[in-house]
Amino acid sequence: MTTTTAPLSDAELTQLDAYWRAANYLSVGQIYLLDNPLLREPLQPEHVKPRLLGHWGTTPGLNLLYAHLNRVIRHRDSDVVFVTGPGHGGPGLVANTYLEGTYSEVYTGIGQDAEGLRKLFRQFSFPGGIPSHVAAETPGSIHEGGELGYALVHAFGAAFDNPDLVVAAVVGDGEAETGPLAASWHSNKFLDPVRDGAVLPILHLNGYKIANPTVLARIPQQELESLFTGYGYIPITVAGDEPADVHQQLAAALDEAFDQIGAIQRASREDGEVGRPLWPMIILRTPKGWTGPAEVDGVKVEGTWRSHQVPLAETRTNPAHRAALETWLRSYRPEELFDDTGALLPELRALAPVGTRRMGANPHANGGVLLRDLDLPPMHDYAVEVSSPATESAEATRVLGTFLRDVIARNPDNFRLMGPDETASNRLSAVFETTDKVWLADISEDDEHLASSGRVMEVLSEHLCQGWLEGYLLTGRHGLFNCYEAFVHIVDSMVNQHAKWLTSSAHLDWRRPVASLNYLLTSHVWRQDHNGASHQDPGFIDHVANKRPEVVRVYLPPDANTLLAVGDHCLRSRQYVNVIVAGKQPALTYLTMDEAVAHCTRGAGIWEWASSSTPGNGLGEPDVVLACAGDVPTLETLAAADILRRRLPDLGVRVVNVVDIMRLQPESEHPHGLPDHEFDALFTTDKPIIFAYHGYPWLIHRLTYRHTNHAQLHVRGFKERGTTTTPFDMVMLNDLDRFHLVMDVIDRVPGLGSAAAGLRQEMVDARLAAKHYTREHGEDDPAITGWTWQREI
Amino acid sequence: MTTTTAPLSDAELTQLDAYWRAANYLSVGQIYLLDNPLLREPLQPEHVKPRLLGHWGTTPGLNLLYAHLNRVIRHRDSDVVFVTGPGHGGPGLVANTYLEGTYSEVYTGIGQDAEGLRKLFRQFSFPGGIPSHVAAETPGSIHEGGELGYALVHAFGAAFDNPDLVVAAVVGDGEAETGPLAASWHSNKFLDPVRDGAVLPILHLNGYKIANPTVLARIPQQELESLFTGYGYIPITVAGDEPADVHQQLAAALDEAFDQIGAIQRASREDGEVGRPLWPMIILRTPKGWTGPAEVDGVKVEGTWRSHQVPLAETRTNPAHRAALETWLRSYRPEELFDDTGALLPELRALAPVGTRRMGANPHANGGVLLRDLDLPPMHDYAVEVSSPATESAEATRVLGTFLRDVIARNPDNFRLMGPDETASNRLSAVFETTDKVWLADISEDDEHLASSGRVMEVLSEHLCQGWLEGYLLTGRHGLFNCYEAFVHIVDSMVNQHAKWLTSSAHLDWRRPVASLNYLLTSHVWRQDHNGASHQDPGFIDHVANKRPEVVRVYLPPDANTLLAVGDHCLRSRQYVNVIVAGKQPALTYLTMDEAVAHCTRGAGIWEWASSSTPGNGLGEPDVVLACAGDVPTLETLAAADILRRRLPDLGVRVVNVVDIMRLQPESEHPHGLPDHEFDALFTTDKPIIFAYHGYPWLIHRLTYRHTNHAQLHVRGFKERGTTTTPFDMVMLNDLDRFHLVMDVIDRVPGLGSAAAGLRQEMVDARLAAKHYTREHGEDDPAITGWTWQREI
């Protein structure tokens, strides 16, 4: 539908347009001007920046929307957060937060006067200044403006459990071509109109990307509306290139959208209406680079892709370009907008909301200020009993599930569990004893645990899980993303951006810390034997390890109680990306809860019970160190240690288990890094280390290469050998099995003699026999998989 | 629309249904049976596999579609490739390629008799056998069945430039929730009905994922049809749970779809109709696990998510489950399908097409057999003149663009250039002198280089670029994906799967090598100073380096001619993932074309012209090695060498440039790895190495840690310090600048004396001065950026 009413009086229209002109003026000023901010003298070359870095094309549209949303907020006292999909329109958001006063409050050096304007302009995209895109530095933002595709999913994440919030999400028509954005529209099937706020998507069709038209701008209007009807929205179209006309249309469209939102919320909250409402969305079709130069050097610019960045490129050296810039700037009539001191005129300033109703000052966009600690149950209540190490079994994630169940029960409005259709597969099903999966689409009688409200969110899109959670965290709440290990790579690029956000925001004292982004990666590489090679990839750890050490933590708890300890720790933490990798299959348990807490606190330690009672035990110097990180490598290492202790009783074997792999770095490289002498105390300075690691082996080398004993380090891990087979065959394919670890020890410890040579041959034979058994029976030899620690040896 | 005609005669219907039953029987047999394949004796525990690993739920739908497509192919002599979105339905594709005879031709050990059936069943998801999912091992497949989301985009890639091909793409309703799939529907705006084939998307709504209903199965039919109308398709719906009825509906729907495809192609090819046609797509709504057990242990299974994997889990130990399995298997009446020898009855066998019309034998699905070498122009014709190293400038990618222009001109039907709206930004614009960007959506008079046919494909989705190219390569063509370096992480997970496919297929002698997947990553980390931190990430190299060494190659050409040499090499290669990182900005040139070819062939070498004329020159032993990889690090290294040569003339400085970073690994680890003695000859065994590297520094450590001189290796690279600033400030932020490299040398070469100490302080001052200059002027000091090699010194 296209709206035709004209809700603005002439005076309102004039003022709104003036506000828009002010924002456009400040935007162009940021991109171009070093000085002479109010054009009180003729524009000289030295007033213009030597390098022009910024994006004009999307900016007038953003400014238009911001100004109109200000009006709606004032009229309705609405609580609105603005999400800028076309985040390269950074000048617009800086301009608007400056006009409303937020910017000068946050950055007190940038005052509301001519000098403040000069600094505002100069700092933009300038060395030592601010980024050219919307970023953590931009007040009111929860959304980095670099990589495109996540505006809408962030908006939904922000709206969850914020019933009074409206998140206005501007989606650029370029961004709309991305996969994550195309899927994000379906988020309306996961938004509860009772307990969640509203998202108002605004698709800004300015028609062009960097160098091309956009798909959605070039399909028939009927097809476009059909698409959004199909996505479950009621589209409201605003289209034009005459400001006065567009102002009226947009004001009417926003009134209508907010009316519809109010009606939906009243119906579901007061009248008890159930089911999925059809939410409004706005299609805004205005020219790219609107109000900028129509032509430059005889070529059309306004309304084309050529206005994407800087329409006038040579303003410092080309007088004609500089004159065109001056004409462009003066077309906004700054003298009608700012007073003698350079302050915005009071009647225009009055068009912005006040206090925390200003979108730049909305506390939801600085979630740390709203963050409450989780009420966590005592983890000891969920611990499994471990009467003796490596003799009893538990499913680690199933145990964690009972803890998460009660985390959810105790925190009914600020914790969510995300997963791409895998929460039950990952054995966290205990959570369904206390909550449901959010589902606003149709429900049939066969369905289980689906409801319009719930703490678990499942959709077969890692992008949506990640984006919802990011939006939820950045607005001050908590959560956990459970995912198959291999497929979390789907969100590699999103976690890059989130980590960058955390890194940047840590330098801004006005941004308060948010809860960590917690991953539970299970169904991991060693137990995807049934799904085969496509499901076998432990590389997310490597990806995360490239981020700044201040923001990344990686944990490989070897059993159920260590997973509990790590989980509890991560849920209490702030401002990190925490990656936890843990198995879901029945697996041996090693540590009591108290031991687990102590071990996880140290992050890495000697397991004396598994080490030889010969000189290698405890802190005595062993002949060889068997190190391990990860549940399956720990199992194989212990089984290898068992063989070595029985068969080579004079060999001093030390078992070191690593939970927190960042402990392996030098302390100069990571806050969790071990001091050299502590590393040496664990790993010796000159004895062979056989390290059985969960992932790609070279990560361990990359973390440890500065340590004294690195030359003696030999790492086994996943070397991309996988297929559909049995669990033990998987470890054998990658030489991580107990038999091969024993061979590695024999090959690297000098002077072991003929008994060792005989044992080595037995290990070769044992591998062949194990391979033969699986090929014959289709399953692993129970004599191998049934191994437990033989205390009496 | 829903079709109502009944095109099948009773006899056809009976036969088609029998064929479907045969495929279902073979599918269940693969999941469950070790022996007794034709149930010629009562089912015993030992006939059943001990571990049940496979997915039944999606399989009957896949079997239904395959059988019906066989009919269409026979009737119309159509050339059809089948893309299996729900690729975990591996049993179905194996069953169908066996029934049509392809499987036994490819795997001659699996005959068309009872013994062949026994082997077929036993090998499935069995150690030493075949994967449980559709994989490279599956004849007729170009699509790994693990990670979901890429079926449709692969299908479009396969259809490009194959005008007579129809690609039937089954999209699971789980997969349909992913971002990449949601965007893939818009691929119809990039398919030329004249020069490309057709894609027939078949959305299979069986209603459930692993543990949840699917979004698209739970929205009103009207909304669903509106969605696909909005995506630009004409949806044809088939829905039911009575086989006879569904057979008639589906036969009619496929007839109609193929009629529409034919009509579209005739209209555009013969009648000259222009513009974007509305292609048909099919919505198939049938029960999940159809024809499987209706209930198990009193719980509904057929038609629910519980049939996703194995509906009967305890068939070996639970007699009731085993009896239910036998009943289920016998419900397909195998005795009516297979003759006494175990061969499919001839009248059923006749329902499959013959020869290469069989979808399992379609040569497009084994693209290597169709692959033709590219006709490449002589690269020397595009070389820039280099009269003296490091004194002239060129934009490397712009030069490559001229080469690519002529590659395109010479190979008009089997080479495509993909890019997410960045081909011009990446300065490859020369290609537009010979071709256009494909665009079937509306075109306006302001547009440039858009046409219904063209060799360049631009859409703002890295997922679509990657997926189209994968589909294009796997069907035997060539291409290059140009992308901003930071955002190629968006496809991390896709390149994982492609690399796994290449690794697996290399072990299959019947699969012929395909062209390499070539990335040109430009707009790289060091020159995203203007876009800021979000655009700064060199980690894709690390990600790729985790893949099997047989399939990955990474090149960092330092200048224009080396980029040409590397580009030419990559376009000739097969079966690799080639990553090329190169700058687009004006940058110094170092090597003539002949020198570039020689240097790139070696992959790493001493640049004698840049090394000291003191003892360090040539193969004499230097005091320090300045190594570099990447264009910006090479520039900074040379500038540092220049300073050192001028100021510390007695210091033996050797400059080593690395183009092929896999050369740094030992030869035991990578086919390109240098033998130890060659590595030592370049890097010495005991002198300090200051290595300036393009990406995260630890990658160089991970590649070199086994080499003798690793302890003396000191790497500078990107340590995640970035923002919007100037290019030189970017390198300074990460201590990669020339001044810091000189400091590193002074800090690590012993006994340099007081002149060096003085120089070190000058370097500290120079960094401060450079920082001050950029903050003052907003651009780098031209005295720094204007540096060229001073031959006379």
Residues A425 and A388 both lie in one domain: yes
Residues of B in contact with A724 (CB under 8 A): 53, 125-126, 129-133
Among A523-532, B158-167, B414-423, the least confident range: A523-532
Q: Do B177 and A442 touch (CB under 8 A)?
A: no
The CA distance from A681 to the nearest CA of chain B, in Å, is 21
Name the residue in chain A with its Cα closest to that of B531: A132
Q: Using the 8-state DSSP alphabet, how is residue B338 labeled?
A: B
Q: What share of residues in chain B are helix, strand, coil (percent, to 5)?
A: 45, 15, 40
Residues A312 and A429 both lie in one domain: no
pLDDT at residue B793, rounded to an integer: 42
Residues of A in contact with B174 (CB under 8 A): 421, 460
Q: Do B543 and A543 touch (CB under 8 A)?
A: yes
Nearest residue, CB atoms, B531 vs list A146, A232, A698: A146
Question: From CA B411, how far away is CA B478, in angstroms rounded?
Answer: 10
Q: Do A183 and B178 touch (CB under 8 A)?
A: yes
Residues A353 and A384 both lie in one domain: no
The CA distance from B507 to the nearest CA of chain A, in Å, is 13
Assess if residue B188 is contained within a domain: yes
Counting Cα atoms < 13 Å in the Cβ hemisphere of A155 gives 27
Residues of A in contact with B175 (CB under 8 A): 460
Residues of A in contact with B668 (CB under 8 A): none
pLDDT at residue A625, rounded to an integer: 97
A793 — pLDDT class (breaks 50, 70, 90)? very low
Residues of B in contact with A182 (CB under 8 A): 179, 182-183, 185-186
The CA distance from B284 to the nearest CA of chain A, in Å, is 18
Residues of A in contact with B210 (CB under 8 A): 421-422, 424-425
Structure tokens at B579: 């990553």
Q: Do B442 and A219 touch (CB under 8 A)?
A: yes
Percent above pLDDT 90 for chain A: 94
Name the residue in chain A with its Cα closest to that of B190: A215
Question: From CA B390, how far away is CA B638, in angstroms rounded?
Answer: 8
CATH of the domain at A508: 3.40.50.970
Residues of B in contact with A701 (CB under 8 A): 701-702, 705
The stretch A237-249 carries a mean pLDDT of: 98
Percent above pLDDT 70 for chain A: 98
Q: Of A311, A328, A363, which one is at a domain's C-terminal end? A: A363
Assess if residue B342 is contained within a domain: yes
Suggest the residue from A421, A485, A662, A771 to mutate for an interface test with chain B (most B CBs closer than 10 A).
Answer: A421
Nearest residue, CB atoms, B147 vs list A534, A725, A778: A534
Question: From CA B629, how far away is CA B716, in angstroms rounded?
Answer: 11
Q: Do B546 and A209 touch (CB under 8 A)?
A: no
Residues B669 and B577 both lie in one domain: no
The CA distance from A489 to the nearest CA of chain B, in Å, is 5
Q: Do A147 and B548 touch (CB under 8 A)?
A: no
Question: From CA A625, how far away is CA A611, in angstroms rounded?
Answer: 9
Residues A226 and A89 both lie in one domain: yes
Give residues with Cβ within 8 angstroms of B611, minimum separation 6. B617, B618, B622, B641, B653, B654, B655
Nearest residue, CB atoms, B778 vs list A126, A229, A493: A126
| pLDDT at position B617 over 70 | no
The answer to whether residues A318 and A99 touch, using CB atoms and an 8 Å cutoff, is no
The stretch A162-189 carries a mean pLDDT of: 98
Assess if residue B28 is contained within a domain: yes
Q: Of A519, A552, A587, which one is at a domain's C-terminal end? A: A587
Over the stretch B429-459, which tens digit does the pLDDT of each residue have?
A: 999 999 999 999 999 999 999 999 999 999 9
The CA distance from B650 to the nearest CA of chain A, in Å, is 30
Q: Do A211 and B421 touch (CB under 8 A)?
A: yes
Assess if residue B3 is contained within a domain: no
Residues B281 and B320 both lie in one domain: yes
Question: From CA A18, how far away is CA B190, in angstroms rounded?
Answer: 42
The CA distance from A56 to the nearest CA of chain B, in Å, is 13
Assess if residue B371 is contained within a domain: no
Residues of B in contact with A131 (CB under 8 A): 532-534, 723-724
The stretch A521-546 carries a mean pLDDT of: 92
Q: Do A230 and B229 touch (CB under 8 A)?
A: yes
Distances (CA, A) of A352 to A64, A111, B85, B159: 13, 17, 51, 53
pLDDT at residue B791, rounded to an integer: 53
Over the stretch A129-146, which tens digit does the pLDDT of each residue have?
A: 999 999 999 999 999 888
Over the stretch A304-314, which tens digit does the pLDDT of each residue have?
A: 999 999 999 99
Residues A664 and A523 both lie in one domain: no
Structure tokens at A619: 């802190």
The stretch A659-669 carries a mean pLDDT of: 95
CATH of the domain at B717: 3.40.50.920
Over the stretch A703-738, which tens digit does the pLDDT of each residue have?
A: 999 999 999 999 999 999 988 899 999 999 999 999
The stretch B654-670 carries a mean pLDDT of: 95
Q: Do A534 and B779 touch (CB under 8 A)?
A: no
pLDDT at residue B615, rounded to an integer: 53
Instruction: Give B435-447 as a DSSP string.
Output: --EE--S---TT-
Residues of A in contact with B218 (CB under 8 A): 189, 439, 441-443
Number of domains making up chain A = 3
Residues of B in contact with A485 (CB under 8 A): none
Instruction: Name the residue type at position A578.
Output: N
Largest distance between two CA atoms of chain A: 100
pLDDT at residue B612, rounded to an integer: 86
Assess if residue A541 is contained within a domain: yes
Residues of B in contact with A546 (CB under 8 A): 539, 542, 696, 720
The stretch A461-488 carries a mean pLDDT of: 97
| pLDDT at position A175 over 60 | yes
Can you tell me the ipTM of this complex?
0.97
Query: Alpha helix locations (H) across B356-461?
Result: 396-410
Partnered with residue A299 across adjacent β-strands are A296
Q: How many CB pairs under 8 A join A and B?
A: 357
Nearest residue, CB atoms, B421 vs list A53, A185, A212: A212
Count of C-beta atoms within a 10 Å radius of residue B335: 12
Over the stretch B699-720, which tens digit does the pLDDT of each residue have?
A: 999 999 999 999 999 999 999 9
Query: Alpha helix locations (H) across B36-113?
Result: 59-76, 90-99, 102-106
Instruction: Give A442-454 as a DSSP string.
Output: ---TT--SEESS-
Partnered with residue A553 across adjacent β-strands are A578
Residues of A in contact with B424 (CB under 8 A): 210-211
Residues of A in contact with B220 (CB under 8 A): 442
Spell out a b/e string for B190-216, using b for 16 or more CB atoms within 10 Å of the CB, else e. bbbbebbbbbbbbbbbbbbbbbbbbbb
Residues A506 and A415 both lie in one domain: yes
Assess if residue A89 is contained within a domain: yes
Q: Of A363, A394, A420, which one is at a domain's C-terminal end? A: A363
Q: Do A53 and B724 touch (CB under 8 A)?
A: yes
In which domain, by residue range, is A148 found? 12-363
Tokens 């003892």, residue located: B615
Q: Do A210 and B174 touch (CB under 8 A)?
A: no
B614 — pLDDT class (breaks 50, 70, 90)? low
The stretch A26-41 carries a mean pLDDT of: 97
Over the stretch B63-120, which tens digit does the pLDDT of each residue have?
A: 999 999 999 999 999 999 999 999 999 999 999 999 999 999 999 999 999 999 999 9
Residues of B in contact with A424 (CB under 8 A): 210-211
Name the residue in chain B with its Cα closest to that of A212: B421
Question: From CA A439, how far away is CA A274, in angstroms rounded?
Answer: 12
The CA distance from A229 to the nearest CA of chain B, in Å, is 6
Residues B278 and B314 both lie in one domain: yes
Mean pLDDT estimate for chain A: 95
| pLDDT at position A786 over 60 | yes
Residues B426 and B503 both lie in one domain: yes
Residues B344 and B388 both lie in one domain: no
The stretch B726-747 carries a mean pLDDT of: 97
pLDDT at residue A1, rounded to an integer: 46
Q: Do B179 and A179 touch (CB under 8 A)?
A: yes
State the SS3 of B718-766. Answer: CCCCCCCCCHHHHHHHCCCCHHHHHHHHHHHCCCCCHHHHHHHHHHHHH
| pLDDT at position B3 over 60 | no
Nearest residue, CB atoms, B300 vs list A49, A224, A446: A446
Name the residue in chain A with its Cα closest to that of B215: A441
Question: From CA A502, how far away is CA A517, in angstroms rounded?
Answer: 10
pLDDT at residue A612, rounded to an integer: 86
Residues A511 and A658 both lie in one domain: no
Assess if residue B265 is contained within a domain: yes
Structure tokens at A525: 């590489």
| pLDDT at position A617 over 70 | no
